[in-house]
Amino acid sequence: MNHLAHLLLAEPTPESRLGNLAADYVWHREIASLTNGIRRGIQQHQQIDAFTDRHPAVGRCLARMSDRWGWFGGIILDVYFDYLLATSWADWCPVPLEQWAFEVNADLRATAHLLPEEACGSVQRIATTNRLMTYRELEGIEAALVRLTHILRQRIPQRAVDLTEAMPDLAEHHEALRGEFAVFFPELMAFSAQWVAGGA
């Protein structure tokens, strides 16, 4: 799952939200130095990712993607799921997206200093640019894929790809992906709530 979903599923505390987002930006060696609340958020993020990776509906979605994407298909799908979440927000959250994003961004800005410098900068950029709201539009999804393409080219230049080239794939299978998301996301919400309650 991508930023919007992880933040929605986080416990409604500043440190849980920060940890759920920062899991993508902190190095493993840095985690031990973080607060208990942030570490718990990172753990929740990891559990959500593991549940997502093994869910049959997600597997069916990936099977619809072009074979050319391979391992990158999961990254592309994570981002598109945020679009599906944002465009059906009222089905999943009673608080309007604009109000919820305002509150979450305030939490992130207030706590980002608790992270190592590089991760702090990444979180601050997400909060100050109100990036969560951009996932309501396909242009925002494409912009996210541009950013991820840049990161991947830096980290694994030998496997350089342009993730934005998946946009036609996503458009072609939109209805099928939306249907699978409607099956998958309630189960993910239930799993996450159980984990938070200590029953997972």
Contact of 162 with 149, CB cutoff 8 Å: yes
pLDDT tens-digit map of 36-89: 999 999 999 999 999 999 999 999 999 999 888 998 999 999 999 999 999 999
Sign of the alpha-carbon torsion through 33, 127, 147, 137: positive
Average of per-residue pLDDT across 162-173: 96
* pTM, to two decimals: 0.94
Structure confidence at residue 154 (pLDDT): 85
DSSP 73-105: HHHHHHHHHHHHHHTTGGGT-SS-HHHHHHHHH
Average of per-residue pLDDT across 152-181: 93
pLDDT tens-digit map of 83-139: 999 999 999 999 999 999 999 999 999 999 999 999 999 999 999 999 999 999 999
pLDDT tens-digit map of 20-29: 999 999 999 9
Token reading at 70: 């391979």
Structure confidence at residue 199 (pLDDT): 54
Contact of 22 with 123, CB cutoff 8 Å: yes
Structure confidence at residue 37 (pLDDT): 97
Q: Any idea which of 10-19, 45-54, 157-166 has the lowest mean pLDDT? A: 157-166
Helix (H, G, I), strand (E, B) or coil at 81: helix
Contact of 164 with 149, CB cutoff 8 Å: yes
Helix (H, G, I), strand (E, B) or coil at 137: coil
Instruction: Give me the residue spans of the domains in the chain.
Output: 3-197
Amino acid of residue 17: R
- In which band, very low, low, confident or very high, does the pLDDT at 169 lie, cut at 50, 70 and 90? very high
177 has a pLDDT exceeding 90: yes
197 has a pLDDT exceeding 80: yes
